[in-house]
Amino acid sequence: MSNQITTITFFKFNSLSSKFWALSQMQFAHKFLEKVNGQLFYKLMGSGRGNGFSIWPDFSVYALLQVWDMEKSADEFFETAKIVKDYQRRSEKKYTIFCRSTSSHGFWNEQNPFVQNPELEDDVSPILVLTRATIKWRHLYKFWKYVPTSYLPLKGNSGLVYSKGVGEWPMVQMATISQWKNSEAMKQFAYQSKEHRTAIKMTKEVKWYKEELFARFKPFKTLGENIF
């Protein structure tokens, strides 16, 4: 099994001043995040309202995804990094999920940052899923027009633990991070719901993504208080 791990951290902000600070960090935090010991890849992302892709921003929640060479590097970062302490001081809650990739297909900025551990496929209860895409400009209207329909099966879905739409750039570079009770619940949403099957079919026919990635993870540790 690979030593590589992935962490996904959600920060929840309540006050107007803390939300403004968090928004400013979408520009200024990169100077602290670009050269972190043991970090192989990272993305600092804003979020959308609701539990999936949304054109409406949620200024109270931000996400930091990081890929590490080993768990020790991640632990040291969360224990000692100044940027983490700054976020903790201003945020109401911080929640970090440690996980290992079981499968990953596609590209993120022309690379696939996740080393796969297929031997964990049989033990994926719960399962964390990341779907990410860069939408072609000419297909933005068609894509966003269908988004509300494709996410209807999420409402009241007993197999879903939580889901949050995040992104690097509003409307164009989007991702969804979701946790499911087990892989069967995730597959039922993805492949058996009429609305999502139609979305998959339209993706193939319209080709509205410039780049896309789909990855599954096995969570094994958490830090902080769940914000969902």
Find, among 105, 164, 175, the residue nearest to 135 by Cα.
Answer: 175
pLDDT of residue 100: 95
pLDDT of residue 117: 86
The stretches in the chain having pLDDT less than 70 are: 52-53, 122-124, 144-156, 190-206
pLDDT of residue 201: 66
DSSP per residue over 71-108, as a string? HHHHHHHHHH-HHHHHHHHH-SEEEEEEEEEEEEEE-S
Residue 169 burial (CB count, 10 A): 12
Indicate the CATH number for domain 5-224: 3.30.70.100
User: Where in the chain are the domains?
Assistant: 5-224
Torsion sign across C-alpha atoms 9, 63, 99, 43: negative
Burial class (CB in 10 A: 0-12, 13-18, 19+), 179: buried
pLDDT of residue 73: 97
pLDDT of residue 119: 81
pLDDT of residue 153: 56
95 neighbors 29 (Cβ within 8 angstroms) = no
